[in-house]
Amino acid sequence: MDRVVKKTWIRNDSAIENYETYSYEPGGKLLNITEYNKRNKPTRKQVYEYNDFCRLNGYAQYERIMGKKLKPMVEWKKIENKSGNIDKVEIIYRYEKKTVLYTYEYQ
């Protein structure tokens, strides 16, 4: 069973100091990290499937940020160990006026 050891969203609005941390729930919901349901951690298989979805469709699901639905540019970065398993995944959503970085690490 895969175990997520670190998983956060960082939302940067205009000021670099103005960070808010979010967690990701499968299905495309952004939640404040204090409200995150720990039973919904994605597995490595879900990461690969979501990566394939983004690559094939050229976009991610609409994410709700500050009450607006925006279509982001999505960048994926997978860091794999020597045996080919994922150690860390970074997803960057680039909106017109803000950037959202989503990372989680496996152990």
pLDDT digits (tens, 9 = 90+) for 2-20: 444 444 444 443 332 333 3
What is the model's pTM?
0.31
Domain boundaries, the chain: 4-106
- Dihedral sign, CA of 24, 30, 33, 39? negative
Query: Which pLDDT tens digit goes with each residue over 31-67?
Result: 433 333 344 455 555 555 555 555 554 444 434 333 4
Q: What is the pLDDT of residue 82?
A: 75
Distance CA 7, CA 24 (A): 8
Give the Cα-Cα-Cα angle 5, 48, 56 (nearest 5 degrees): 140
Q: What is the mean pLDDT of the chain?
A: 50
Residue 90 pLDDT > 50? yes
* Cα–Cα distance measured from residue 57 to residue 73, given in angstroms and rounded to the nearest whole number: 11
